[in-house]
Each structure stands twice: as structure tokens, then as C-alpha cells.
């Protein structure tokens, strides 16, 4: 089994200022040292050993930020204004049709990871949300106390209304997207410099719909959703049937999901 971990990559710019990038990586081949110390090839020591084997260009430095068991099979990430790292996990990836079945009945988790003492290592983990309706969410976008989570067939908006670091309100931004439990479904939203949201979906996403009712219970599978097709600003139904769109698509919309433009 490959080890999954996060790295801090520091880069010296021409002004000598250090900029941190956080990356997630899956290393398929571990060093012999890691396997000798930990035959399973997972956990902090295996991750630390793997990091030591990296060769990076001059001016770059790689260090471990987090590993199992704090975070498992990370699928996407974002960084908020407080420097917290937000992670969507994919423990249940492909569980709906593979022989091993559902590995985590409680559903996949959305986590925040923090380095509270400034030593470059995550030392605090908070479960922001966990539910069976989230299966390997391929996208996360943190905007203040609202978090947009892309997990086909839904795009959720999860809100922390009381500031305790955990979601207490769930709404639907979009619904009826194909590609459940598939890596070609709907992907991450990004806040653009024009104040719009940008996002995309793979060829399995197929279509985009508005839910007729946005607010749903905080937990539990959604079930049947009444919805209507999204008609974009070019007056086309957002659907990849070839008239005119096909395969994966790229979009821009307002923060509330309206004024959808199909960009590509």
C-alpha cells in the first residue's frame, strides 16, 4: 500500500522571502528503510523516510506536514484565511461497486489540519463534516464560514454558523450531476479575481441541474431531489449530448450558482 502524506515545499524567491506550498502526494515505491521499519508502508515514520528520498532543485526544501492516521487518502484541499489546511478524504472511493464494499459506513470526512505551534507539522485535526452522502469529494472551496464541497451527484454548501469549526447547515448549490463514486464527476470550485466561481466536471458529470429546494437536513443521504436543468447565458441546456456541448465542461457562475456560463 502506498503511503499518503502532505509535504511543505519551501521556495526561496529572488527577494529571499520564503513561500510555502502544501502538496499531497502518493508514493508508490517506498525506500527499503521505510519497509524495514514498517512493513505496511504507512504511517508517520514511513512518510518521513519517503520524504528523505526526494531530490529537489536548488532552493527547494521538502518536509512532512501530515500523514496517516491523521489524514487518509486525501482527494482535494484548500487553505483558508487562517492558514488552516482543509482536506476531503476518499476512504470510500470506488466502494459502491468494488468487491471490498464500503470501508467507512459513517461516510468520508472533511478535515481541517492546523500547525498550532509553528514547527511545520500538523498537530491539530478537526472533523468539519462527515456523512455517507459524501463519497470522495473531488473538490473543496472555503469562503469564510461557507465551504463548497463537490461530490457527485451534488454540490453542497456547508456552513459553520456558530464558529465552532464544524458544519451545522447543509444546502444544495447544484444537483443531478452524474459520476457518483467516479473521478470524472464534478470537481473543485475556485473563487476568481472577478468575484465569480469557476469550476469544472469530467466527462462523467454529463449535466448540471438546479435543486428546486436548496436547504436539506444536515446529515443523511439526500434521496430524490426535485430539480430543473441549468440554462446557461448562451441559452443552452448544460448537458453533454453534443448540442452543442460534449464530454467535460468548464463553468463560471455567481456565488449563489446563478448566471452560469459554459466556458469550454
3-state helix, strand, coil in the chain (%, to 5): 5, 40, 55
pLDDT higher than threshold 70 for residue 223: yes
Highest mean pLDDT pick, 10-24, 30-44, 232-246: 232-246
Q: In which band, very low, low, confident or very high, does the pLDDT at 4 lie, cut at 50, 70 and 90?
A: very low
Of residues 221 and 30, more confidence is placed in 221
- Overall average pLDDT of the 73-102 stretch: 87
pLDDT-based confidence at residue 98 (cuts at 50, 70, 90)? confident
Residues 189, 245: contact at Cβ < 8 Å?
A: no
The pLDDT, as a whole number, for residue 14 is 37
135 with 156: CB under 8 angstroms? no
Cell triple for 48: 518521513
Tell me what the mean pLDDT of segment 151-173 comes to. Answer: 95
Higher pLDDT, 31 or 68: 68
- SS3 for 154-175, per residue? EEEEEECCCCCCCCCEEEEEEE
Which pLDDT score, from 0 to 100, does residue 193 have?
95
Domain ranges of the chain: 1-69, 70-262
pLDDT over threshold 90, residue 191? yes
Helices assigned H by DSSP within the chain: 32-37, 44-52
**Position 227 pLDDT exceeds 60:** yes
Lowest mean pLDDT across 43-47, 133-137, 149-153, 254-258: 43-47
Query: How far is Cα 184 from Cα 197, in angstroms, rounded to an integer?
Result: 19
pLDDT of amino acid 17: 39
Length of the chain counted residue by residue: 264
Cβ neighbours of 250 (radius 10 Å):
13
**Range 143-157 average pLDDT:** 95
Q: What is the pLDDT of residue 13?
A: 43
Instruction: Quote the pLDDT of residue 39.
Output: 55
Average pLDDT over residues 121-136: 93
Q: Inform me whether the pLDDT recorded for 143 exceeds 80.
A: yes
Cα 136 to Cα 64: distance, rounded to the nearest angstrom: 23
Q: Looking at residue 215, what is its pLDDT?
A: 92
Phi, psi of 45 (to 5 degrees): -70, -40
The class (CATH top level) of 70-262 is: mainly beta
Is the pLDDT reported for residue 58 higher than 90?
yes
Percentage of residues in the chain with pLDDT exceeding 90? 53
Grid coordinates in use for 79?
Answer: 487553505
Mean of pLDDT over the chain: 84
Q: First-to-last CA distance in the chain?
A: 37
This prediction has a pTM of 0.82
Residue 72 to residue 107: CA distance in whole angstroms? 13
**pLDDT value, residue 9:** 52
Least confident of 106-110, 112-116, 182-186: 182-186
Amino acid at each position: 500500500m502506498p503511503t499518503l502524506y502532505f509535504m511543505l515545499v519551501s521556495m526561496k524567491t529572488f527577494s529571499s522571502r520564503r513561500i510555502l506550498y502544501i502538496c499531497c502526494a502518493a508514493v508508490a515505491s517506498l525506500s527499503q528503510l521505510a519497509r524495514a521499519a514498517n512493513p505496511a508502508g504507512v504511517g508517520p515514520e514511513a512518510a518521513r523516510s519517503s520524504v528523505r528520498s526526494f531530490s529537489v532543485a536548488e532552493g527547494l526544501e521538502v518536509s512532512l506536514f501530515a500523514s496517516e492516521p491523521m489524514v487518509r487518502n486525501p482527494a482535494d484541499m484548500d487553505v483558508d484565511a487562517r492558514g488552516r489546511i482543509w482536506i476531503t478524504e476518499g476512504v470510500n472511493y470506488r466502494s459502491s461497486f468494488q468487491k471490498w464494499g464500503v470501508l467507512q459506513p459513517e461516510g468520508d470526512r472533511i478535515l481541517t489540519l492546523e500547525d498550532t505551534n509553528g514547527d511545520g507539522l500538523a498537530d491539530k485535526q478537526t472533523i468539519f463534516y462527515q456523512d455517507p452522502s459524501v463519497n470522495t469529494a473531488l473538490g473543496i472551496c472555503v469562503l469564510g464560514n461557507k465551504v463548497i464541497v463537490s461530490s457527485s451527484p451534488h454540490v453542497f454548501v456547508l456552513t459553520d454558523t456558530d464558529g465552532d469549526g464544524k458544519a451545522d447547515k447543509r444546502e444544495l448549490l447544484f444537483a443531478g450531476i452524474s459520476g457518483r463514486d467516479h473521478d470524472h464527476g464534478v470537481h473543485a470550485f475556485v473563487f476568481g479575481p472577478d468575484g465569480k466561481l469557476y469550476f469544472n466536471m469530467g466527462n462523467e458529470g454529463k449535466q448540471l441541474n438546479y435543486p428546486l429546494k436548496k436547504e436539506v437536513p444536515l446529515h443523511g443521504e439526500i434521496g430524490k431531489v426535485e430539480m430543473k436543468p441549468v440554462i446557461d447565458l448562451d441559452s443552452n441546456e448544460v448537458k453533454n449530448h453534443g448540442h452543442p456541448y460534449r464530454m467535460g465542461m468548464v463553468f463560471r457562475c455567481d456565488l449563489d450558482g446563478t448566471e452560469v456560463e459554459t466556458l469550454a
